[in-house]
């Protein structure tokens, strides 16, 4: 059982929801990221989502775009992000860390090199925003073989067969829009997906109010986001 699977199993046994905070590596400056990761754990994080800065974050809104710009201005790269996880693992070997980013840096490094390096550093999951689920089978297989959970965004327009074949931890989204583009988001799980998750509870609707970091004083980095899994 992977670290991520164990966390969700424990949460389910305890009847709790999971808190998965997100920060962009290297923002507001590289020297503080490791301390932020440990602070998130002390603050109750069940899983940490560490954003890999990218110059063209097409699926993200202005908050994360600016975070990536600040991180890139300090020279933060994919290699630096993996090294941060390695340093984090020196004192924390139980909190799962998911790298969230885009395909270009991974393709530039090479998928095999990336997966091997990420495994050695202690990465537990990887979410690549612009890897279409139907086009990343080889990458997903490499991740699974290395013990890294591949995570995919899923919309009701995605083909059900791809969901059944590839998804380790599908993250359902309801709208085809930029992240943080709307303050209020309805998480909608299509009824036809119930058959793919026989252990799920009754079909539920969650309404989450998303608070932008720009609305909060003295918060230069994006606030944590709450991810829920049935």
pTM: 0.72
Q: Tell me the catalytic residues.
A: 49, 60
Residue 74 has what pLDDT? 96
Gap between the Cα atoms of 45 and 199, Å rounded: 25
Checking if the pLDDT of 96 tops 60, the result is yes
Residues 140, 37, 67, 188, CA torsion sign: positive
Burial class of 32 by CB neighbour count within 10 A (0 to 12, 13 to 18, 19+): middle
Q: How many structural domains are present in the chain?
A: 1
Average pLDDT, the chain: 76
Residue 220 domain-assigned (yes or no): no
Confidence of residue 210 (pLDDT cuts 50, 70, 90): very low
Residue 195 domain-assigned (yes or no): yes
Residue 229 domain-assigned (yes or no): no
Most confident of the following: 71-75, 175-179, 220-224: 71-75
Residue 153 has what pLDDT? 67
Query: Is the N-terminal amide bond of 160 cis, ω within 30° of 0?
Result: no
In this prediction, residues 96-108 reach a mean pLDDT of 95
Residue 206 domain-assigned (yes or no): yes
In this prediction, residues 99-128 reach a mean pLDDT of 96
Higher confidence at residue 199 or residue 147? 147
Residue 57 has what pLDDT? 85
Q: What share of the chain in percent tops pLDDT 90?
A: 54
Most confident of the following: 12-21, 168-177, 221-230: 12-21
Other CB atoms within a 10 A radius of the CB of residue 188 amount to 16
Residue 143 domain-assigned (yes or no): yes
Confidence of residue 61 (pLDDT cuts 50, 70, 90): confident
Q: Which residues of 58-78 are buried (b: 16+ CB within 10 A; e: fewer)?
A: eebbebbbbbbebbbeeebbb
Torsion (CA) 171, 192, 164, 129 in degrees, nearest 10: -30
Residue 153 domain-assigned (yes or no): yes
Confidence of residue 154 (pLDDT cuts 50, 70, 90): low
Residue 107 domain-assigned (yes or no): yes
What CATH number has the domain bearing residue 35?
Answer: 3.20.20.70
DSSP 8-state secondary structure symbol assigned to residue 60: B
Q: Domain residues for 211? A: 3-215
∠ at Cα 193 (190, 196), nearest 5°?
Answer: 170
Most confident of the following: 83-92, 140-149, 200-209: 83-92
Residue 194 has what pLDDT? 46
Residue 223 domain-assigned (yes or no): no
Confidence of residue 213 (pLDDT cuts 50, 70, 90): very low
Higher confidence at residue 142 or residue 226? 142
């Amino acid at each position: 059982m992977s670290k991520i699977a164990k966390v969700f199993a424990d949460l389910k046994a305890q009847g709790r929801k999971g808190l998965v905070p997100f920060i962009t590596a290297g923002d507001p400056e590289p020297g503080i990221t490791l301390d932020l990761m440990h602070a998130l754990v002390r603050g109750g994080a069940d899983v940490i989502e560490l954003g890999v800065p990218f110059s063209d974050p097409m699926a993200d809104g202005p908050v994360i775009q600016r975070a990536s710009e600040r991180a890139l201005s300090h020279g933060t790269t994919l290699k630096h992000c993996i090294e941060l996880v390695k340093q984090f693992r020196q004192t924390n070997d139980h909190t799962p860390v998911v790298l969230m980013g885009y395909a270009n840096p991974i393709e530039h490094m090479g998928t095999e090199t990336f997966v091997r390096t990420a495994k050695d550093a202690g990465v537990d999951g990887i979410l690549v925003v612009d890897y279409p689920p139907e086009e990343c089978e080889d990458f997903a297989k490499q991740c699974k073989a290395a013990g890294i959970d591949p995570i995919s965004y899923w919309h009701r327009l995605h083909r059900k067969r791809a969901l059944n074949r590839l998804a380790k931890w599908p993250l359902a989204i309801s709208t085809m829009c930029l992240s943080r583009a709307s303050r209020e988001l309805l998480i909608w799980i299509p009824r036809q997906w119930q058959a793919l998750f026989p252990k799920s509870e009754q079909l539920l609707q969650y309404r989450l109010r998303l608070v932008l970091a720009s609305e909060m004083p003295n918060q230069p980095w994006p606030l944590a986001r709450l991810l829920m899994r049935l």
